[in-house]
Structure 1
Amino acid sequence: MSHTAHIPSHRKPRRSASKLAVRAGVAGGVLSTLAMAGTASASPAAEPVTETLEMPVLNMDLSTEVSTAVAKAADNTRAAALQGELSSLEETARTGAAAEAKQAKEQAQKKAEQKAKEEAERKAAAERATRGTERTDLSTKSASTGSGSGSSVTTPSAPATGNAATIVNFARAQVGKAYVMGATGSSAYDCSGLVQAAYRAAGIKLDRTSQDQSLAGRSVSLSALQPGDILYWGGKGSAYHVAIYVGGGKFVGAQNPSTGIVERSLSYDKPSGAVRVL
């Protein structure tokens, strides 16, 4: 066994390579200074050196600080990129939500308008059905009674001539075509669209709606109708349906989507009143 085996090692720990390099550089600088000072003292004309320079000892790990700075800069760059991406996503989400809200509003408005039209048609059909339970054959009543309400008795009318014939012929030519709300021809009509088109064929201009058409010309009794007269249902000025009297106790009208344009007896659906434009 070695005589020194029991003696613990008193060797100092090794310093890092970077610290040794710094210290070596400092030591070299000091030795160079001393050498220059010695040379100067050997010269007779040189003055003695009376100042001692102490060089600081650098004690820092430069590689660690550089790595930390680089990592911090990379983190800042990633954070800025992430923030920009989040801002872009938020703006896209806001734009998309606004577009969806606008589209939903437009669809809701269209549905409400369509529902209102359907409800108006349903009410009109219900009113006609209610009045249908009280219908009376006006021609039969005229033959069986010589008195009573003159407005409920229709007298025979002479054959249509002139503008009246044009209006009646046009109306009858449309029988069998479709009823479409708002349509004015030529493959489909609503009630006032048909009346307006028939009068236009005779060169006569009428307003578009059933309410306005019930105010046209002058009022006539249902007992004294003539071909070409305008029949209306509802109040005068607030009528919800119109048709054309074609003679013989009959009318032609665009009734509803299920029947289309038909020719019917007045007893089918007794009108509220009539006006004469011719």
Structure 2
Amino acid sequence: MSHTALIPSHRKPRQSASKTALRAGVAGGVLSTIAVAGAAGPAQAEPVTQTIEMPTITAGLSTTVAASAEATQQVALDLETQANQDAAAATAAKAAKKAKAEAVRKAEAKKKAEAAAKAEVKAKAEAAERASRASRSTERTTLSAPSGSSSSSGSSVSTASAPASSSASGSAASVVSFVQMQVGDAYVSGGTGPNSWDCSGLVQAAFRTVGVDLPRVSQSQSTAGTQVGLGNLQPGDILYWGGAGSAYHVGVYVGGGQFVGAQNSSTGVVQKSLDYDPPSGAVRVL
């Protein structure tokens, strides 16, 4: 066996005649086409003179940009406005809180001032009442002082210092008669008759029968005439309890150490001796 028998051959396999012819034809056709194009190219070439215009987008773009800028500016303005509103609201809330606190402080101060004023008024009233009681006590002591012919038990009353019973005359008699006719009537605060009275209402009505128009309240009635001493009383004189101008009770002296007055809701209108409730002073109107 030959030593080359097992070495494979490196020659290309033969192609068939039909494939060879096909390849030759294709190659020939391509070469022909190139030749024709080369021959015709320089003769048919013409310079390009037409300009192709690209669509212009500048106008639309500028409008879009402008709109976007305006929208951005509007947003910025809106944000600034909102910030200003928030700041104003915060300032207003702070001011309202401060005003409320100030109002509360003033209200408390006013309440304290009113309480202090009430306390002061009450203190003054209590002081006046104490002074009135002291004055009444002094008057009671004076009226109860025994006369030169006092008994061993000590005379209780005022008949020694008051004039003896004497018959009233004229207007004084009319006043005395009127008040004595009301004895037994009820006492009613603010009463002006005809069947119920308070102290000043009775006195006013009595003097009105003789054409004398007295003030309505006891404070004013206690200064309506000439002040007279309790040792110099005459029928028809107005008796008062408390200070002149600040009296809290009035009655009418009817003579003989007696007076008539609308005392209180328990007793009504009574006629009593002066030692029953010694007066503080007296005024003479008639």
TM-score (norm 1): 0.48
Largest Rg, 1 or 2: 2
TM-score (norm 2): 0.47
